[in-house]
A and B are shown apart, each in its own frame.
Chain A
């Protein structure tokens, strides 16, 4: 029973993190119909930028007000979004709208390759450590175990991000415009919607969410080359399980994968590396389009 509780808590923490790193991917796919292989790289850029920014914050007297480092993390993510988002979307991706999905995947694969090395050029290959934000909140006792409070902050952020994305899309005027574009791009254009702007905003939001995931993660890990590769694979599994383009699906997919991984860590450690793909394959066998699938229009 205790083991069950441990698996559940670990699973939720990991699931929350997974949701944050994958929700941007599903959002971008939902609006732009592009599966962004560079999503993991954007996450890594967010992590590196945060590592540098938080490092600088503490180097220049942030010790007096350590909680301010959280603001620095968010600012770093915003910075990444407004610099890289429009650059990638306007400069490259927009030429591939409405073309073959797989071709667009390859384009983002190219972006992934480029960003990997650009990061090495900027930040080198040595790892960065910014543990301060992670230790700041101390730890909490849950039953017989101690958890770092920061882990629960991740859960809180995941919930806030999820609700915020849901609210913006379903309850605001801008969100309705986005839904209209998703539903029928040509028609929205004819109705006077600036589709270009919707795409740019959606992509920037996706970049922000990826970078935010990186920013949140930076204090928990050693930021080094290769972190993007693992994240992109995880995020893919999550959004495919949930159904490409579905925010609710990403949330459920993240929790499913999180709990599955926690269970595997505690019960069957050998399977940890591939349990996620097993879950994904199992879901797809029964629901080929993922848990939440888009309805398809009649073709003939």
Chain B
């Protein structure tokens, strides 16, 4: 068990398991996990904000920016390399986040949530009207290449899945490091008592802005992968209900455990797929009930399950 306490070891183990799973999973499941991981990255950004006490209801903004960057780059410049597209998506989202972060960092609670939501809706409105970018129909996204390797069919799905898994493990490990770091502890302290943090001499605003930019970057990364995996992007990526689902996953997972975020995201995708299949008109109903149950039964999220067990063990 001590091996799992070491972040690099746990990450390597997780990655090995994901790679093995990739060769067994059927195509639909692989796509599901790829999408769940991509959206999980966005949710992980929200989790980072939540640790500081903020919830963004507008991460669709960055998700959408990332997705459109992958689509437009392929259409305009012919770049299809996934590494390059990811980098560009991250840079674009990070740049926009750096502009808005310091502005939004002055706001708390509802105001922060709703302002971030309104930013994403501005993008939604703008994209819907821009016919050069496809308007409400959106754009098709060319299939990605992997450093010159251009798979099709199942190998493409597998390559995307493996790429996404690698990103998730890498980002997960980095975020664990961040959460455990001095900055990470300060974020938690801000959530509890901003006044005290200012009176100790640290800038709450800077800490919030940094968390926001990190969340933007993760949103962009998730967007790039989603756009490439679906092969199509449209303004719905920035719609507030899309953002609502990211918040849902973040709340479902809680801020105690990083793997819980991706497990939560897979859970949501599974619920969505099965509801779509068996109750095509009521998947939102299922989702809503699921959300209320989580809030009532697991107020600190899925991550609190493992923590509880660990605590029980330590006391025993």
Q: Which residues of A contact B (CB under 8 A)?
A: 35, 92, 95, 101-103, 105-107, 109-118, 120-121, 125, 229, 233, 236-237, 240, 244, 270-274, 277-278, 280-281, 284-285, 288-289, 299-300
Contact = CB atoms under 8 A, between A and B. Distances in A.
The 6 closest A-B CB pairs, nearest first, are A273-B125, A113-B288, A274-B125, A117-B285, A114-B288, A277-B118
Interface in B103-118: 103, 106-107, 109-111, 113-115, 117-118
Interface-central residue, A105, A115, A278, A300, by most chain B CB under 10 Å: A105
A38 to B, nearest CB: 10
B118 A237 contact: yes
B141 interface: no
Interface of B: 55, 57, 103, 106-107, 109-111, 113-115, 117-119, 121-122, 124-126, 128-129, 195, 240-241, 244, 247-248, 251, 281-285, 287-289, 291-292, 295-296, 299
B73 to A, nearest CB: 25
Given A114-B284, A117-B284, A274-B122, A289 B244 contact: no
Interface-central residue, A120, A240, A273, by most chain B CB under 10 Å: A273
A105 B113 contact: yes
Contact of B291 (A109, A233, A244, A271): A109
A280 B119 CA distance: 10
A270 B126 CA distance: 8
B247 A120 contact: no
Contacts of A125: 281
A218 B195 CA distance: 49
A278 B123 CA distance: 11
Interface-central residue, A113, A244, A273, A289, by most chain B CB under 10 Å: A113
B292 A110 contact: yes
B43 to A, nearest CB: 13
Nearest to A115: B288
Given A113-B287, A115-B288, 20 more contacts: A35-B110, A102-B55, A102-B109, A105-B55, A105-B110, A106-B248, A107-B292, A110-B295, A113-B284, A114-B289, A117-B285, A233-B121, A233-B240, A240-B111, A240-B114, A273-B124, A280-B115, A281-B119, A281-B122, A284-B111
B288 A274 contact: no
Contacts of A109: 244, 247-248, 288, 291
Contacts, number: 111
B121 A277 contact: yes
A102 B248 CA distance: 12
B109 to A, nearest CB: 5
A121 B291 contact: no
B285 A299 contact: no
Contacts of B119: 277, 281
28 contacts: A102-B55, A102-B110, A102-B113, A105-B57, A105-B110, A106-B247, A106-B248, A106-B251, A106-B291, A107-B295, A109-B291, A113-B285, A114-B285, A117-B283, A117-B284, A121-B281, A121-B285, A233-B121, A237-B118, A240-B111, A273-B129, A280-B115, A281-B122, A284-B115, A288-B106, A288-B107, A288-B111, A300-B195
A244 B220 CA distance: 31
A113 B110 CA distance: 19
B109 A101 contact: yes
A112 to B, nearest CB: 7
Contacts of B285: 113-114, 116-118, 121
Contact of A106 (B115, B124, B281, B295): B295
B126 A274 contact: yes
Contacts of B118: 236-237, 277, 280-281
A101 B125 CA distance: 28
Given A102-B110, A300-B195, A120 B281 contact: yes
A284 B126 CA distance: 21
A35 B285 CA distance: 20
A19 B288 CA distance: 28
B42 to A, nearest CB: 16
Contacts of A240: 111, 114-115
A34 B296 CA distance: 17
Contacts of A236: 114, 117-118
Given A113-B287, A117-B284, A117-B285, A270 B109 contact: no
Nearest to B289: A114
A233 B115 CA distance: 11
Contacts of A281: 115, 118-119, 122
Given A110-B295, A270-B129, A273-B128, A101 B284 contact: no
Contacts of A95: 296
Contact of B282 (A121, A273, A274, A300): A121
Contacts of B282: 117, 120-121
Interface-central residue, A103, A110, A237, by most chain B CB under 10 Å: A110
